[in-house]
Chain A
Amino acid sequence: MMRLPRFRYHAPATLGEAAAILQGEGSQAMVVAGGTDLYPNMKRRHQTPKTLIGLRKIDALRGVKGSPARGLWIGPATILTDLEESALVREHYPGLYEAIHSISTPILRNMGTIGGNICLDTRCNYYNQNYEWRRAINFCMKCDGDTCWVAPGSDVCLAVSSSDTAPILCAFGARIQLVSKKGTRTIEAKDLYRRDGIDYLTKRSDEILAGITLPPAARWRSSYRKLRRREAFDFPVLGVAACVRFDGEIVAEARLWLGAVSMAPVEAAEAQAALVGRRLTEETIEEAARLAYPLAKPVDNTDFGLRWRKEMTRHFVREALLEVGPPGSPSGRGN
């Protein structure tokens, strides 16, 4: 039986308390929400925090508030299933709903939280292995070792950002509230991520993710397409998030983000620009797909071959945009 290493456990009832404990314990402490990412990692001895701070008892970290007109506030400790069942999310932020619905399995979604998903550890076939397995390759740079086995010349870790919600939150322009003993700051979701498989978050270790805000949904249509081997359990080997705001038939603003092709979500800026001011047609979609896919630089550390994954990017961008569809199309893509 795979077992957890030993640790001390705290279950504060307020955010302030949690921040204080986190500050007091220093880098030896970690917060845990659903534990569906952290506990497997701890069992495999990737992380062995001396202290765990459970967020379950902090009511202020849970729930969905707001309206499509004003935007939403989502508590990071909200369970994924609860978000899936929220009509606000499903009807007005369909891309986010799809991303959440595609995460792991219904059972894991009963446990995992959106905050944990946003902070999800980066993944790599050389890293997500038991301690004994990793010892056989003499460990790797991300944990306990020196070399990156995916690219032995690399001085950064190329572990993959595998969160399904990260690209869609970036695309929506979500803002993330971070709280620590020192104070509160709010950053753009896209600024939370860093292209480094080890230090993949710009969040400091004493900071707690305390809120996610989504801008008003008005006139935004969105979709999320995920590539994976099986329709359950599997992390994305590619995620495409698309948010498009229309002015009549014309694209006023477009956001296209790729997930699981790098250490952080990747913005397809040229493709976005190519859509603005035009209608969403077969040709414009095709052009956006052509511009977006070179950005995907998959390496050999997930399921499937990297060439194919790269090629699929083009296809999936196309599919995501087709799904967004022009305004008035029946797909229920938002507003």
Chain B
Amino acid sequence: MAVGSDGRGLRVVGKPVRKVDGLSKCAGVTLFADDIVLPRMLFCKLHRAPVPHARIVRVDISKAARMPGVMAVLTGKDLPIPFGILPVSQDEHALCLDKVRFVGDPVAAVAAVDEDTAFDAMNAIEVEYEPLDAMMSIEEAIRKPSPRIHEYGDEGNIHKKIALEFGDVERGFHDADQVFEDTFYYEGSTHLPMEQHAAVAAVDPDGKLTVWSSTQTPHYVHRALAKVLNMPPARIRVIACPNGGGFGGKSDPFNHEIVVAKLSLLIGRPVKVTLTREEVFYCHRGRHPVLMQIKTGVTRDGAIKAMHFKSYLDGGGYGSYGVASTYYTGALQTVTYPVENYKFDGLRCFTNKPPCGPKRGHGTPQPRFALEVHLDKIAERLGIDPAALRLGHLVPPQSLTANYLRVGSMGLAKCIDAVVEGSGWKQKFRHLPSGKGIGLACSSYICGAGLPIYWNNMPHTGVQLKLDRGGGVAVFCGEIDIGQGSDTVLAQVVAEVLGIDPYDIRIVFGDTDLTPVDLGSYSSRVTLMMGNAAIQAAERARELLATAVSEKLGIPAERVGFGGGQVFDVEGPERALSFADAVVAAEARFGTIGTVGSYTPPPSAARYKGSGVGPSPAYSYSAAVVELDVDPRTGWVRVDRVHLAHDVGRCINPVLVVGQVEGSVYMGLGEALMEEQVFRANRGGVHRQPSLLEYKSPTTMEMPDVVTYIIEDPDPNGPFGAKEVGQGPLLPIAPAVVNAVYDAVGVRIDEVPVTPEKILKALDSPAKRFGPKGVPEVRWPDPIRVPTPWEGGTGRAAADRRPAEARR
């Protein structure tokens, strides 16, 4: 149990503290990766494939290598060791070895004295290809098992197939009063951070390599570099620069990071690469396009007796986080409304497009969209108000779901109440004039993955404190601020425990040489995990100081309090030492004051194969109401206002929480209404619009008002009870938009983005619907059967419980 979860007496936590790096960012002083300039630095450019799928016959670098100013040219042979973020998908090469898998796959790299020269040299490289049939869609990849994009995977071009069943869905459908089925499609989209990825590598004469990069995961980059460069990790230092936006797009180790490292080792000079915007679209790892089918059996009052969810993911050319993404499309359906029996079939295809991966909400916005629109339809058919339907069937706090996710605090009821009341839902829903609509949706998200990406039993994060005699505190942690404000959260947590001003704290982050490992800024893990580790480290320091001060003041250690920069006797606060003097006392007593803290999530209740994805120390909850206008003559949608309530457990910094909510709503609206990462299948698989002008992201003119309600339902696993807010609030936006469009003009758009064209088509169609017609025929494997907790299950698959001889 973390301290302070009652929230009383907090001095720093819960306050709208100005970001500790805020003024530096506003002064233009913060150094991003591309801002790093080193003496004798060279520039790297990558030569990329112009074809979507082909064998490399010949790479001719001779012309490029001869050009004045070119220092080195690399090809795949120079970096033959594969890598990838997941241990099960080590399928990438820094430069393609024998095959290219999408337009934009890098084949060769040059380093030259300036970027102009590097650009010319990159274009002088000639590659001969033997074209292969390309897979440009989910259907095509399922239909055509060959040629295979990868030699590994479950079958043909299907990377991964999953089948899980919790309880008995057939029985559930049988017991239900009504069964509903819908098909949905969620188009792919990309993160589009304003900062284009950049990396700088330098070797020092003593053989140590340093790589600065705009990465969300310095630890994984460190591991990938050691592997591919075949170098001891101890000789490699990765420094994550503050990211100019990440959203999941900088969470994989990337080819360009490895390439500059190799070039730097070869040439002995620093090498920088800064991707163009087009290349950022090729790095991608964004939202998987997902085709989904959902079948739900409900009772008359809307209780879910059974749900069968199928998802088909378009994975792109490499594994990336894809196996995890696939599991995520089936994992979190159960944490909002109880699902008595649940079955999930999921598959991910390889296609000849840039690889998909984790984008804000990683694998969960798509199924959440399907589920929340599906429920809206069910509510209408059952004649129940959609808010009431949800409120009537909420997962209880402190409970286990059908798939053994342990829900802790659960503030969804309060979230729904807030948006319903705040928006005037009851007066508006189904009562607005034609063309005006209101829609509601809910969601939940994890606060960090319960398991690390590669198997190990070490902590997921560590925090180290060094207390200075002058009263300053240096906090070292491998976390990396990508804009979400993690530096500030870290400073606030430590300041709270030690009773000091957060601005007296210096944060040292994201440096594999200096900071303890933190797995990275992904899966909304940082506040919860780093926060807990920081509390532990700070409490250990506090203990040392309390002991020293209690001796000085002649009081028992339990009576020593911390606050306002003072260490004092709680029974007589005038008996006090300044924090600096307390450090001096402690240092005199114990020697140099440094402490560490770390955090490992609690063990999961789920023990079946595939249960690595979904368990989390806590779950955040959100509810959204969207109000919008639809012009029935044009199909144009204008969102007027979004109400969003988010259960953040405990709000560590309200202004940051509101900022994350607003940013999530923004990104959710982009996906709901306009963003598409799409390709021209009939034109050699090129990206349709790899530019900031043609990939449409909302401007100031499209952004509606957002009313944010912060709901605090502290979770025992969170630091001060805190849960995540960076990703969850995105999830309900797309379904709430679609539900509101239905309220406005009576058509169902079972697909995002909701474009005016689709609305007009739906208005013209007899079914008053636009969306996918069905799902491809697939032979699913026999599911892993897991008895639910209410069937007396233990979290293991049924087969595992059979006696040993039966298994043989």
| A touching B, CB within 8 angstroms | yes
Binding site for B on A (CB under 8 A): 1-3, 6, 125-126, 128-133, 135-137, 149, 229-235, 303-305, 307-308, 311-312, 315
B702-A3 in contact (CB<8A): no
A308-B756 in contact (CB<8A): yes
Chain A residue with Cβ nearest B760: A308
A233-B699 in contact (CB<8A): yes
A133-B690 in contact (CB<8A): yes
Q: Can you identify 26 A-B contacts, CB atoms within 8 angstroms?
A: A3-B115, A3-B119, A6-B116, A129-B278, A129-B690, A130-B276, A132-B50, A132-B278, A133-B690, A136-B51, A136-B103, A136-B686, A137-B684, A229-B674, A230-B696, A230-B702, A231-B702, A232-B699, A232-B700, A233-B699, A234-B693, A303-B694, A308-B635, A308-B757, A308-B760, A311-B760
How distant is the Cα of A3 from the Cα of B118 in the complex, in angstroms?
12
Partner of B694, one of A125, A307, A315: A125
Count A-B pairs with CB separation below 8 Å: 74
Chain B residue with Cβ nearest A309: B757
Residues of A within 8 A of B693 (CB): 128, 233-235
B802 part of interface (Cβ distance < 8 Å)? no
A135-B699 in contact (CB<8A): no
Residues of A within 8 A of B699 (CB): 230-233
Residues of B within 8 A of A149 (CB): 683
How distant is the Cα of A44 from the Cα of B674 in the complex, in angstroms?
25
A230-B701 in contact (CB<8A): yes
Interface size on B, residues (CB 8 A): 36
Residues of B within 8 A of A231 (CB): 699, 701-702
Chain B residue with Cβ nearest A235: B693
Residues of A within 8 A of B116 (CB): 3, 6
How distant is the Cα of A315 from the Cα of B632 in the complex, in angstroms?
12
Interface residues of chain B: helix, strand, loop or mixed (majority):
loop
Residues of B within 8 A of A308 (CB): 635, 756-757, 760
Q: A1-B115, A125-B694, A131-B123 are in contact. Are A137 and B757 (CB under 8 A)?
A: no
Chain B residue with Cβ nearest A131: B123
Binding site for A on B (CB under 8 A): 48, 50-51, 103, 115-116, 119, 123, 274, 276-278, 633-635, 674, 683-684, 686-691, 693-694, 696, 698-702, 755-757, 760
Interface residues of chain A: helix, strand, loop or mixed (majority):
loop
The 4 tightest CB contacts between A and B, nearest first, are A231-B701, A136-B50, A308-B757, A232-B699
Residues of B within 8 A of A303 (CB): 694, 696
Chain B nearest CB, measured from A316 CB (Å): 9
How distant is the Cα of A136 from the Cα of B674 in the complex, in angstroms?
26
Residues of B within 8 A of A137 (CB): 683-684, 686
Residues of A within 8 A of B119 (CB): 3
Q: A3-B116, A232-B699 are in contact. Are A125 and B757 (CB under 8 A)?
A: no
Chain B nearest CB, measured from A260 CB (Å): 14
How distant is the Cα of A307 from the Cα of B700 in the complex, in angstroms?
28
How distant is the Cα of A30 from the Cα of B757 in the complex, in angstroms?
40
B698-A133 in contact (CB<8A): no
How distant is the Cα of A227 from the Cα of B493 in the complex, in angstroms?
50
How distant is the Cα of A153 from the Cα of B277 in the complex, in angstroms?
32
Chain B nearest CB, measured from A293 CB (Å): 13
A129-B274 in contact (CB<8A): no
B276-A125 in contact (CB<8A): no
How distant is the Cα of A311 from the Cα of B691 in the complex, in angstroms?
27
Residues of B within 8 A of A1 (CB): 115, 274, 276
Most chain A beta-carbon contacts within 10 A, residue among B694, B698, B760: B694
Chain A nearest CB, measured from B15 CB (Å): 36
Chain B nearest CB, measured from A21 CB (Å): 25
A125-B274 in contact (CB<8A): no
Residues of B within 8 A of A311 (CB): 760
Partner of A232, one of B633, B634, B701, B757: B701
Chain B nearest CB, measured from A120 CB (Å): 14
Most chain B beta-carbon contacts within 10 A, residue among A126, A132, A307, A311: A132
A133-B674 in contact (CB<8A): no
How distant is the Cα of A139 from the Cα of B755 in the complex, in angstroms?
30
How distant is the Cα of A231 from the Cα of B638 in the complex, in angstroms?
12
How distant is the Cα of A119 from the Cα of B633 in the complex, in angstroms?
34
How distant is the Cα of A3 from the Cα of B689 in the complex, in angstroms?
20
B278-A312 in contact (CB<8A): no
Extra 15 A-B pairs, beta carbons < 8 Å, given A231-B699, A308-B635, A311-B760: A2-B276, A6-B116, A125-B688, A128-B694, A129-B690, A130-B276, A132-B50, A133-B278, A135-B50, A230-B699, A230-B702, A231-B701, A231-B702, A232-B700, A308-B757
A136-B760 in contact (CB<8A): no
Residues of B within 8 A of A126 (CB): 683
A315-B276 in contact (CB<8A): no
Chain A nearest CB, measured from B615 CB (Å): 40
B757-A305 in contact (CB<8A): yes
Residues of A within 8 A of B694 (CB): 125, 128, 303
Chain B nearest CB, measured from A58 CB (Å): 30
Q: A3-B116, A231-B701 are in contact. Are A133 and B634 (CB under 8 A)?
A: no
Chain B nearest CB, measured from A152 CB (Å): 10
How distant is the Cα of A307 from the Cα of B115 in the complex, in angstroms?
43
Residues of A within 8 A of B700 (CB): 232
B702-A312 in contact (CB<8A): no
Chain A nearest CB, measured from B681 CB (Å): 13
Residues of A within 8 A of B635 (CB): 308
A230-B115 in contact (CB<8A): no
How distant is the Cα of A129 from the Cα of B680 in the complex, in angstroms?
14
How distant is the Cα of A254 from the Cα of B701 in the complex, in angstroms?
33
Residues of B within 8 A of A229 (CB): 674, 696
How distant is the Cα of A2 from the Cα of B123 in the complex, in angstroms?
14
Q: A233-B693, A308-B760 are in contact. Are A133 and B123 (CB under 8 A)?
A: no
Residues of B within 8 A of A128 (CB): 691, 693-694
Partner of B634, one of A6, A234, A312: A312
Chain A nearest CB, measured from B172 CB (Å): 41
